[in-house]
Every structure is written in C-alpha cells, then in structure tokens.
Amino acid sequence: MRILLIEDDIKLKEYISEYLQAYDYHVTTINDFDILSLLLDIYYVIKKYGIIFV
C-alpha cells in the first residue's frame, strides 16, 4: 500500500514514516508548501496525456 504523508513538522513526519515503513507501507512525504507544486504537476500530466497511471 502506498501512503502520501503531508506534514510540516519534520520530526513527526519522520516518526510516522518510520512507523509505517516498519509495516511495509511505501511512504512518500511532502510538506504543505510542496502541495501546490504537486497539484500543478498532476494537472499538466492530465492536460498532456489525459490520464495518470499509478
């Protein structure tokens, strides 16, 4: 299972990430400031290709 973790607190983010990885979850972490950039990237992929493959 893949999990996207959005959190600004670095220590909390590291703790949660390590905990979830111990249970074989794939964790991607970003902070709130990266969300706009991520959403823009997704928008351009959808606009160009019409679909996102996960």
30: left (phi over 0), alpha (psi -120 to 50) or beta: beta
Give the single-character DSSP code of 44.
Answer: H
d(CA 42, CA 15): 27
What pTM value is reported for the model?
0.45
Give the DSSP H or E segment for 6: strand 2-6
> Amino acid letter at 39?
L
Give per-residue pLDDT as tens, 19-33. 888 888 877 776 655
**Res. 7: pLDDT tops 80:** no
DSSP conformational letter for 50 = S
Is the model's pLDDT at 6 over the cut of 60? yes
* Alpha-carbon radius of gyration of the chain: 13
Residue spans of the domains in the chain: they are: 2-49
